Amino acid sequence: MIQVSDLTAVKSALRAQRIETPSWGYANSGTRFKVFPQPGVPRTPEEKIADAATVHRFTGVAPSVALHIPWDRVEDFGALTRYARDLGVEIGAINTNVFQDEDYKLGSVTNPDPGIRRKATDHLLEAIDIMDATGSRDLKLWFSDGINYPGQDDLRDRQDRLAEALRETYERLGDDQRLLLEYKLFEPAFYATDIPDWGTSYAHCLQLGEKATVCIDTGHHAPGTNIEFIVAFLLRAGKLGAFDFNSRFYADDDLMAGAADPFQLFRIMYEIVRGDALDPAYGINFMLDQCHNIERKIPAVIRSVMNVQEATAKALLVDRDALRAAQREGNVLEANAILMDAYNTDVRPLLAEVREDAGLDPDPVAAYARSGYQQQIEAERAGGQQAGWGA
């Protein structure tokens, strides 16, 4: 049974938790087949930030919003930063986009055409200019680059091109900035993706230096992959920089975090707690990367934040001393039971108490529904072009 003093520490850790939300999560998004528009969806980066600030207002743990360029490009990023701060949030990671232009059909930084590689790398450098203007620490890179057929391009040459672009980008970073290198098993490239897994990302980050770290997207793995092992390994190596939290049933589904496998989310967060990496000072960017196609955007983001909080609370409740003792004794069943006891704990009353202590409503989803914000934005955003990626 957890002691009162330990419970105080758990509450303190939960109050300090930080979860970044994505600007694109508030826009129209969906699948390659269809995007269903919704009333009240933002039309501008400012409106996306306003929605992100609303999520923070009801949860208290989402004080930053990631931007995606060019989806969130504005003329004055300094003004956008001030606007965000006036609403109580900060600009978080700057995400690049080298996968939508026609030029990138055969790749971006790994394209056989040097002119297209130059264009893609210049975009990465532009993103660092935006980081300078917004005060952002993190540059998030994901590449759809790859090939569909054996012989289509030289696998080793593509790695050389990738390394060259990453090196130029890395050397442009400021002293307090860092590079987060994401990976993805497949799609849109099917025969060979240029950064298909955490090991490839890790290898490039090692070559680049201490300001390059791996970003784990929880939807970007083969079925059955032990993601918490990857977390443990990268923490041990000091190379885990960020998460893109979402949930998947089959592939890169980008559903609400914890929707498909909340136990997996708990196991991941336990490794974070076990590695003393939950504190924001450690430096991991816990970000959501989701697309809400049929559900309302803001309540879905709030629910995702709450799901991460619940997994974290359960991870904090694990009796680590008892677990280590059982592990040392080789008591397999007892060790598993200790972990499962924490996972099976209903932490909703605990989190409600934490929120009330912070002056928040204990039920953020219900509080949002009562606030009238959804009705307000549906009325105010009735005209104009909604943000989204089409389809």
Q: Quick check: 223 pLDDT over 60?
A: yes
Vertex 110: Cα angle to 75 and 25 (nearest 5)? 45
- Average of pLDDT values for 102-126? 98
Q: How confident is the model at residue 2 (pLDDT cuts 50, 70, 90)?
A: low
Q: Quick check: 198 pLDDT over 60?
A: yes
Q: How confident is the model at residue 391 (pLDDT cuts 50, 70, 90)?
A: very low
Coil, helix or strand for 143? coil
**Average pLDDT, rounded, for the chain:** 96
CB burial of 163-191 (b: ≥16 within 10 Å; e: otherwise) equals bebbeebbebbeeebbbbbbbbbeeebee
Task: List strand residue ranges (DSSP E) for the chain, in order.
Answer: 21-22, 64-68, 90-95, 138-141, 146-147, 178-181, 192-193, 212-217, 240-245, 285-288
User: How confident is the model over 134-164, as pLDDT tens digits?
Assistant: 999 999 999 999 999 999 999 999 999 999 9
- Average of pLDDT values for 110-126? 98
User: How confident is the model over 24-69, as pLDDT tens digits?
Assistant: 999 998 777 888 999 999 999 999 999 999 999 999 999 999 999 9
- Average of pLDDT values for 239-263? 96
What's the pLDDT at 322? 97
Measure the CA–CA gap between 166 and 128, rounded to whole angstroms. 13
What's the pLDDT at 390? 59
Domain boundaries, the chain: 16-316
Top-level CATH class of 16-316? alpha beta
Measure the CA–CA gap between 246 and 303, rounded to whole angstroms. 12
Q: Quick check: 227 pLDDT over 70?
A: yes
Measure the CA–CA gap between 135 and 273, rounded to whole angstroms. 28
What's the pLDDT at 389? 74
Q: Per-residue DSSP letters for 195-246?
A: S-SHHHHHHHHHHH-TTEEEEEETTSS-TT--HHHHHHHHHHHT-EEEEEE-
- Average of pLDDT values for 1-19? 84
Residue pair 326/83 in contact by the 8 Å Cβ criterion: no
Measure the CA–CA gap between 306 and 259, rounded to whole angstroms. 11
